[in-house]
Structures are given as structure tokens and as C-alpha cells.
Amino acid sequence: MHEIDGSYGEGGGQLVRTAVALSAMTGKAIALRNIRARRPKPGLAAQHLTAVRAVAALCRAEITGLELGAREFTFRPGGLHGGHFDFNVGTAGSVILVLQAVLPAAFACGAPVHLRLTGGTDVKAAPPLDYFRYVLLPLLARMGLSVDVKVLRRGYYPRGGGEIEVSLPPVKQLLPLGLDTLGAVREIEGIIHTANLPGHIAERMRQSAQHKLQSFENTHIDCQRLGRNEAIGQGGAIVLWTRTLHTLLGAASTAERGVPAERIGGEAAQALSDEISAGATVDIHASDQLLIYLALAQGASRLLLRSFTSHAQTTLWLLRQFLPLRFQAIQTGGLTYLDIIPR
């Protein structure tokens, strides 16, 4: 039983999700202690429970101590297998964060996996659904990972109720990413969606984002208005991305009650502009989520990061608890050159 300190480093839910995924893939039993110990509400929330149970279903794991608010539990994995799975967070907890745990294990199954997830699709403190679709998945596709996503319904805080279906074919091997230069920015694209809200909100987000990005020649941001048949509750998000000659960068912001639309659009645009200006080859949010895949790739990878975040550092520490991994992070000219070297 390998003990993992859930309060290490950033010490949040990502550590829990990544730990159970690694346990399932390596077959190593784990005991997680001090889960989210420094958070205002320590212990497991609903989306953490769903993520752990989802990974457990893929590997027939035995779990003890798993309950809402739990600060420790044990996870003994069995063998990974494919199939059809249905997971419901039961709240507005993010289905995208559940996928952070499930996808690596699903790719390792060696068989097709079909997932149906219910919960929040675009909620605060989690990647919006369109960031997952238009930023993270294209980067994973470069590694040889194919994912098909079908959006059945959007869901927001506090009701949740969004539904997505995700299908993954078997994967033979993971290719490394050698992203050592940004390349010229060709154009900036984006999607703004609002659900059951006045139309001017999306347009105000777009105008604010375009104003921040006016120094770039080609910027195209689409607006989508969703009704009751397409979304439960009120909400929205803006997701922006740019494809360069060598890579793809993204940024996102989720609508919040009481926060002006102009601020939502401006924050996402400023974040993308900062990534481009820095010369990064992967944005700071994608870098955290890519690390587990890069650690399993057939060769060394390199990323250029605007910021070597505490999330990334914590994830690298955790990966080395399970895998014979080397990494090197060197700061040069305002960027961190991060080399991931599987052994």
C-alpha cells in the first residue's frame, strides 16, 4: 500500500484525481491521506467522489473510506477493462474534472470505452467544456489519442444536469510532444456560449475580448445562444485559442452571476495574449493536464511555459511516486523550458 500525502504542494482535487488514475494504470494500491487539508472545505466533494468511483469502475478497484468529506481512503485496483459506463456527479460538479481522472485510465484499457457523464459542463474553477474540446483534445490528438465528444445538454451551477458522451478507441502508443518554439500566430478563434440569458451578454463578452486582441489581425469569435432544450439553468463561457505553425494555445473564462460580461471576455483574451507574448508553446492550464500523458509517452517531450505553476510541480511530484520519470525545468528569458523524460 503506497501512501500519498494529499496535502503535498498544491494539495487540491487534481492530486486525488491523478493519484487514482496512476494507481489504476500501474496496479499499485494507494492510501491517500490529508486530502485537500488546506482547503476551506477539506476532504472530498461530490465531483471528487464521482471521479474516484469512475476510475474504480474501469479497473474493478476495492475502495475503503470513500464518502463525502472524507480526508483519507484506500484504493486497490484490479485489471483495467473497456465497456460502457454512466457516471452522475449528482450536483453541478464539473464533468470535465471527472474526465481528468477517467481519460488516462480509459486510454490504458486497451479496449474501446464509452462514457456518459452528468453534472456541470461549464462551472467555476474548472475547464469549460469547449476548452476541453477545442484546446486539450487537439493537443492529445497530436499524441495519437482520439476522443469523440457529443454534447447532449449543458449544465451550470447550482443545478448541474448537463450531459455529455465520450468515446475512446484503443490506443497503441503515446507519441511525445516536442513543442520547443511557438511559431507565427495565424489567427485567433473562439466560441462564446450563453444559456437562457439575454443575447447582449454574449455580444458584450465578444466585444471586450476583441478589444483586448485588436493587435492581432485575424480574430473570429462565434456566439451561441442556447435555450431550455439545450441547457439546464443559466450560464455561459468564453473559450479562445490560436493555432500557430507548431502548436495550439488556449484560454477560457466562465460566466458568473454578478460579474460583468466585459470582465469575463477581457480576462480570457488577456490570458491568451499573455501566453502568446511570452512565447509559450502550451498554456498553463493545458500543461497541468498533459503531464500524465507525457509521462507515459514513447520518448522525451519539451514544453515552453509562461509559468511553472504549483499545479504542474505537484503533478510532477506525484507522477514520480508511480513512474520512473525524469524531468528538468530551466527558466530562461521569462519562460520555463520543461523536459519530460520517461525511462
Residues labelled as active-site residues: 311
* 161 to 16, 49, 86, 111: CA distances (angstroms): 24, 17, 13, 29
Sheet holding 30-33, edge to edge: 2-5, 30-33, 73-76, 62-64
Helix or strand run (H / E) with residue 245: none
Residue 113: alpha-carbon gap to chain centroid: 19
Structural contact between residues 285 and 309, judged by C-beta atoms closer than 8 angstroms: no
* 339 to 121, 281, 330: CA distances (angstroms): 32, 13, 9
Rounded to an integer, what distance in angstroms lies between the CA atom of residue 249 and that of residue 269? Answer: 12
Rounded to an integer, what distance in angstroms lies between the CA atom of residue 323 and that of residue 104? Answer: 14
Burial class (CB in 10 A: 0-12, 13-18, 19+), 115: buried
Percent of the chain as helix, strand, coil, to the nearest 5: 30, 30, 35
SS3 7: coil
How many Cβ atoms are within 10 Å of 217's Cβ, its own excluded? 10
